[in-house]
Amino acid sequence: MLERTEAGRLANRWDSKTAEPMSEAELLLYRSNLLGADKRVTNYGGGNTSAKVMQKDPLTGEMVEVLWVKGSGGDVGTIKMDGFATLYMDKLNALKHLYRGVDFEDEMVGYLPHCTFNLNTRAASIDTPLHAYVPQKHVDHMHPDAIIAIAASENSRELTRQIFGDDIGWLPWKRPGYELGLWLEKFCLENPGAKGVVLESHGLFTWADTAEACYSLTIDIINQAIAWFEKTTAGKQAFGGPEHTALPATERRRIAAALMPRIRGMVSGNARMVGHFEDGEAVLEFVCSRDMEALAALGTSCPDHFLRTKIRPLVVAFDPGKPDLDATIESLMSSVEAYRDEYAAYYERCRRDDSPAIRDPNAIVYLVPGVGMITFAKDKATARISAEFYTNAINVMRGASGVSTYCGLPEQEAFDIEYWLLEEAKLSRMPKPKSLAGRIAIVTGGAGGIGSATARR
């Protein structure tokens, strides 16, 4: 059944007493942490928040409007005050005169540091224009599963209208960047009564005049979507209904433990990988379902999702009705090789003249029918986060396929984000992995004093 009683509605956790003494910047931080604390509101590291605040210019002493917006990297749930970039609004507006059109939008990122207010060293993110050009003072951009499920439906425009009426508009898919910022501004000017907009294949924008109103609106809009899905999908089976019964928990773990070292050996050619196993309710429902293979092949939709999970997962040949672990292990190598070949073909089909070189062609996500999901990444935390992201993607497919036809992002769009030069620049700025990263150590006597101290280190 598609109904999920435990999911329920998001609670409005704004506390007026706590918020009362706060400055505008502190209110932005408070709102961001509240929103990011619930993964149904936005995925890890996904989305951003902003406020336009009047402040004294340290150079002229005059009051100027400053955009506070989540900076590059970081997560709204755990962001601290130094995670926000601060930029002069008048300079951001002046950038419009320098804009040479969508083919040159990436160069606008280079101008953002020139707009910095108060020598703030936090780099502004590529989403900055999306916040700057919405005229309202407070703007939330979130990646809620329930909204992306609408945004990734074939008829997302009609669904948005049906659920939200005139309150929330809709914009077609556009890679985040300067052009999308101008689209949002145009939308706001043409629709002064709108409270937000659904971005196709991406997420939600909401805006308001105060921090509290913006927070409450974001929560209300997501709850409206959750309620609509509950009503519309009541009594329907998710993912075409079950094809397999999930194996018992101990058996699932035994099979994962047998598969993971094998897969690790096969995919650690370029760099050592560490695995993570996940068999929560949402994952099990998906890997046991009739439509799993077909949906998995369509790939994920929200750009944040596939940057962490690759465009699609690898489905391991395993039949939980007639488990034959030896046969599965024997088939693994050819599945892994087929995945690499497909990935290389995708790269060749979509590459542009200036695309960065092909990256690790191995799958990140491995779906095992009746058992669960295994993810591999450079360290345990990244592998766990990839699993979290694919779980978000499962929730999105569950919603979209329950009310419409689910659509992944078009392949070329996905490639252009995966191999975006700005994304490549971000990767090249990442610190070099530490010498033991990706390695697994056995500490003898790990329960004793020196042994446990060694293990912790």
Cα–Cα distance measured from residue 139 to residue 127, given in angstroms and rounded to the nearest whole number:
12
Smallest distance, Zn ion to C-beta of residue 29, A: 20
- Residue with the shortest CB distance to Zn ion: 203
Q: Which is nearer to Zn ion, 173 or 390 (CB)?
A: 173
Smallest distance, Zn ion to C-beta of residue 203, A: 5
Q: Which is nearer to Zn ion, 45 or 203 (CB)?
A: 203
Smallest distance, Zn ion to C-beta of residue 212, A: 23
**Residue found under tokens 């018992």:** 248
State which H helix or E strand residue 18 sits in.
Answer: helix 16-19
* Closest-CA residue to 360 (of 347, 373, 375): 347
Cα–Cα distance measured from residue 373 to residue 366, given in angstroms and rounded to the nearest whole number:
6
**Residue found under tokens 């191995």:** 362
Smallest distance, Zn ion to C-beta of residue 342, A: 27
Smallest distance, Zn ion to C-beta of residue 204, A: 9
Measured at the CA of 312, the angle between CA 143 and CA 48, to 5 degrees, comes to 20
Q: Which is nearer to Zn ion, 78 or 452 (CB)?
A: 78
**Residue found under tokens 């046991």:** 288
Smallest distance, Zn ion to C-beta of residue 206, A: 13
Q: Which is nearer to Zn ion, 288 or 307 (CB)?
A: 307
Sign of CA dihedral 208, 210, 215, 216: negative
Q: Which is nearer to Zn ion, 24 or 127 (CB)?
A: 127
Smallest distance, Zn ion to C-beta of residue 393, A: 14
- Both tokens of 226, joined, read 């959750």
Q: Which is nearer to Zn ion, 153 or 289 (CB)?
A: 153
Q: Which is nearer to Zn ion, 45 or 361 (CB)?
A: 45
Measured at the CA of 168, the angle between CA 166 and CA 170, to 5 degrees, comes to 105
Binding site for Zn ion (CB under 5 A): 203
Smallest distance, Zn ion to C-beta of residue 40, A: 16
* Closest-CA residue to 255 (of 316, 297, 296): 316
Q: What are the start-end ranges of the H helices in 210-313?
A: 211-233, 249-267, 281-287, 292-298, 303-309
Cα–Cα distance measured from residue 30 to residue 80, given in angstroms and rounded to the nearest whole number:
9
- Both tokens of 409, joined, read 């992002």
- Both tokens of 97, joined, read 């005169």
Cα–Cα distance measured from residue 150 to residue 160, given in angstroms and rounded to the nearest whole number:
7
Cα–Cα distance measured from residue 381 to residue 337, given in angstroms and rounded to the nearest whole number:
26
**Cβ(383)–Cβ(441) below 8 Å:** no
Q: Which is nearer to Zn ion, 203 or 369 (CB)?
A: 203
Q: Which is nearer to Zn ion, 180 or 367 (CB)?
A: 180
Q: Which is nearer to Zn ion, 77 or 203 (CB)?
A: 203
* Closest-CA residue to 31 (of 223, 208, 226): 208
3-state secondary structure 399-446: HHHHHCCECCCCHHHHHHHHCCHHHHHHHHHCCCCCCCCCCCCCCCCC
Q: Which is nearer to Zn ion, 174 or 290 (CB)?
A: 174
Q: At residue 285, what is the residue type? A: E
**Cβ(320)–Cβ(259) below 8 Å:** no
Q: Which is nearer to Zn ion, 301 or 335 (CB)?
A: 301
Smallest distance, Zn ion to C-beta of residue 200, A: 12
Cα–Cα distance measured from residue 339 to residue 154, given in angstroms and rounded to the nearest whole number:
27
Measured at the CA of 375, the angle between CA 373 and CA 377, to 5 degrees, comes to 175
Smallest distance, Zn ion to C-beta of residue 141, A: 6
